[in-house]
Amino acid sequence: EVQLVESGGGLVQPGGSLRLSCAASGFTFSSYSMNWVRQAPGKGLEWVSYITVSSSTIYYADSVKGRFTISRDNAKNSLYLQMNSLRDEDTAVYYCARDYWTGTAGNFDYWGQGTLVTVSS
């Protein structure tokens, strides 16, 4: 069974930093690209970042570019999101999601349960 378990969320002040982790199991992590997707309270879904198997290709949404860094450790079956210079509008539940290739990337077939990041003074 595919499982994705996020951790690392919490309360942080504006301008602060936080590192999210996603532990993967039940599939060959090193064979799949991965994503982070977020959802502000009561709002819709927003894709945040994408990383390929070898970390050779990385994409970010414009809203987080230059502030967030995605990375992975295939030996540890783990995905990470380093978030710096956090803003109020970064408050959201952050999901890690496996990428499902359908001829293009950007299809999210399995999701974790999410971790809440609250940016507030």
Partner 1 sequence: DLQMTQSPSSLSASVGDRVTITCRASQNISRYLNWYQQKPGKAPKFLIYAASSLQSGVPSRFSGSGSGTDFTLTISSLQPEDFATYYCQQSYRTLGWTFGQGTKVEI
The answer to whether residue 27 forms part of the interface with partner 1 (CB under 8 A) is no
Instruction: Look up residue 19 and give its amino acid.
Output: R
Mark residue 26 as left, alpha or beta (left: phi above 0; alpha: psi -120 to 50; beta: remaining): left
The answer to whether residue 105 forms part of the interface with partner 1 (CB under 8 A) is yes
For residue 117, give the DSSP letter: E
The answer to whether residue 44 forms part of the interface with partner 1 (CB under 8 A) is yes
The answer to whether residue 45 forms part of the interface with partner 1 (CB under 8 A) is yes
Selected from 47, 58, 69, 77, the binder of partner 1 by CB under 8 A is 47
β 58-60/45-51 pair status: antiparallel
Interface ranges with partner 1 (CB under 8 A): 44-47, 59, 61-62, 95, 100, 102-114
